[in-house]
Structure 1
Amino acid sequence: MFISLIILPLCCLSTTVSFEDLCQNCEPYESDFSLASLSYKFAISVVLLLFFLKPCCFRNIIACSRRMVTYNLIPGESVFFNSPNYPSDYDSRSRCAWKFQSTTDITINCSNFHLQLPSKWGKCYLDVLKLDSSRFCGTSLPSYSGSTSIRAVFRSNWRLNYSGFWCSATAESEPTTSTEPTASTNGTGGSTTTSEPDCINVAPTPPPRGVETQVNEYPWQAGMVLFRATSLFCGGSVISSKHIITAAHCTEAVTTNRWDYQVLVGAHDLTSAAASQLIFNADRFIQHSDYDNAKLDNDISIIVLSDSIDFTNSKVRPVCLPDSNDNAYDSVTATVSGWGALESGGSFPDVLMEV
């Protein structure tokens, strides 16, 4: 069965792909991406997604644009932005402009920052990241809190180039307000308390064997299809705007003919093309270097899409992944979904199923 479930503590792609700090230090993809640091041995040929995961991660990367790009943040949401070519050196005469808006205050934090050093007078005027009227350069990590709107502008001159920056823009969560009765001298009254909402991962009751999912119930569900066809041969999960995680046995035969294969997202019924359905070409496949096709050990692979998924204008969402410290999933009940056969030798359903 083609399955889209993930049990890896994967948040987004890291330059070192160290799963111990991946979710805390989300880094973008680097051309020499290696899955060798994954220590998991897979005895099955599916990629499992724990049932308690939910589509709450909107960890998309806002690409560089010379014209200002405006992104509306949902309270509690974080997005990422970086210098061109990061973590490689940015180009000379680069310019990027972003505008982040929300109904709550926004904070900018940078986990990596390396621009040209300030002048001998301590001024940033060569290569600079401007956050509203504040200017940042050199190697000191910026941390900036503004109002409900922040403009970020990066520019470089024609001389020295460096690795640049990797930053996040986070909108504060909205407080929740609840009214609870409290004791008072006259026996009546109440008080209002305010607290920050908690992120709760609740595992619903597992479905019976082989039932149809609701439409777009699993918005991270992906499938590999032949070029200009809807006949799936493998499943996967969306983990970022440009990356799909799947099984290595699905990609080992297509690494040299990637243009013959595409990735389908936002689908439910394969017999009809829904408005939410999108198809992307595969730019490249990154297979685990220790994959064993006989034992199916390290049976995991990453598909890099040729174009980015627009999460703001589609029903597709990246899967919300557990914290990097949550690395033990033995004996945990999981739900799997896909368009594969429900039993050996069985037929393939036209609609997305869950077990």
Structure 2
Amino acid sequence: MFRLAVVTCVVLATGLAKPPPPAKADGGPIEPLDVEPVAFQEGGLRGNEDPEPVPLLEKESRTTHTLPPGRYYFTSPNYPNQYTNNYQRSFTVKGNNNQDITISCSPFSMESHSSCAYDYLSINERKYCGSSAPPATTVSELRIRIYTDYSVTATGFYCLVTIADGCRCGVRRTRVVGGADATAGQFPWQAGLVSTGSTRSWCGGSVINNRYVLTAAHCTENSSPSQIQVMLGDLKIGTSDSGEQRFSVQQIIQHPQYTSATGSGWDFSLLKLDREITFSNTISPVCLAEAGQTYADVTAIASGYGRVGASQPQATHLQHVQLPVWSQSRCQGRWGATLKSSMICAGGYPEGGRSVCMGDSGGPLVTEVSGRFRLIGVVSFGRPCAVANWPDVYGRVTEALSWIATNTADANTCTL
């Protein structure tokens, strides 16, 4: 059997006085505190659940605030009095675990202009002015800019920012045969399996929570945890990418029904890492497939560091390629009795030229559902590589959901 390759929130401290923010719905005030942020524990805030101010340095023109779950706020300068002229401030707000961030601004009053050319609040490069407050929205990152020019003022705004408790799965930022170079954060769930101390991956995997990577059983059979390390955030092989992390493996959990990829199927293996994963813009988990879904005829994406052709070397840059998913009956027409219920097929373009290849085994096959990416397949086997009208075979993740849940119960799984 060959190894198929695939692959801040902030309270803006502006002004000498800190007026009270708007009342909560129950009538009680949301009180800012002139103290360090409260300590957080698993399950949410400890103590006061009201927004905590995280003041910006007065001389700092741009900064990033990476914050734990909670409610925060920022205001226009001198709020609720008239804001000042000639004011500029920019900052970014992120969750410390890739969580959803929700923002709403009320009240809102700035100098009006048809294109907000004078005074404005900009949220993720979209400007708001006049009485047209930004709509309540949920995003993965807030890029805020406050700008006022030399004349005309108004009472400004109060914006409440809520960072959700829990991380977000299936969110990405911005050579598999016939594939293209990935960009940093495009596939933040991509893992590379390497020999201990090495940088060249020989199989792929997917981050599915804060402690486990899902890969193929044929990648880990006859191996001990001490022989394998996992690279996350690795975009270019052999170079130190920003945010790249290396993990040792504490435990290998093979699917109990696995005997071989082309025999029994069930080509799944879980790697328990030696420590929790710190999520970032370039490292975060993928959402798992939804039970009961076949994903037939959807367009999926495979990614990995495998060969760029059957007789070609492995890629030095993470690759990705779009592949059509086949129905089970159609794929059975190609693979016959080899195809089991624990398998799913993708690829097989009539012209060939695009597929996974050796070195991509264990890597992810994902599809986008309602703006999030779900892991539907684990690269298993095929006819190397990119053979016309012959799809490659992946482990069908929907068939392994109960096994995954049982064996990763000690991890924190991200929400949709």
Quick check: TM above 0.5?
no
Greater relative contact order, per chain length (Cα 8 Å cut-off, separation 6+): 1
Please report the TM-score for the alignment, with normalisation by the length of structure 1: 0.45
Please report the TM-score for the alignment, with normalisation by the length of structure 2: 0.39
